[in-house]
Amino acid sequence: MNRRDKANYYLDMAEVALERGTCLRRNFGAVIVKNDVIVSTGYSGAPRGRDNCIDIGFCIRQKLGIPRGERYEFCRSVHAEANAIIAAPREQMLGATLYLVGRDMSTGEIMPDANACTMCKRLIINAGIGRVIIRRDHNVYDTVDVREWVACDDVLDGRHGY
């Protein structure tokens, strides 16, 4: 019997969380874990009480032809990372790991180039999360030390990583 490694175990949970997502373009799931305990989960969706894109039947960013990684102020969704951070107590995020999975809704496939957007990177840094593990396919993932995001201001450096 091959036992699932711990990182993929938590990434699998993040992938389940993204199933609740309501974005028509890309759905993300996030799980924050500290000391092998799940602190919180999050998925992409409109703020509480507002209609989701799946409810109104269109994505305004898609309708306007806005490319990936640009003009998030037009997006109806709160990102998965932000929702997970909002749901977690600060002391439980300090030094924790955030697991992140993205799915392209047009193909149904895991996004091999998924990453936190610039705004979510800022939230992750301020939350005190220590590392982010991002799924690339069913078994492969990358690990990011959040100190790299602190040292590299991707807005000033022109590297957006969306």
Q: Which residues are catalytic?
A: 81
Task: Identify the CA nearest to 42 among candidates 100, 83, 13.
Answer: 83
**CA separation for the pair 102, 49 (Å, rounded):** 24
What b-and-e string marks burial along 112-139, b requiring 16 or more CB atoms within 10 Å of the CB? eebbbbbebbebbeebebbbbbbbeeee
Q: Is 97 exposed, middle or buried (0-12, 13-18, 19+ CB in 10 A)?
A: buried
Tokens standing for residue 142: 């990358």
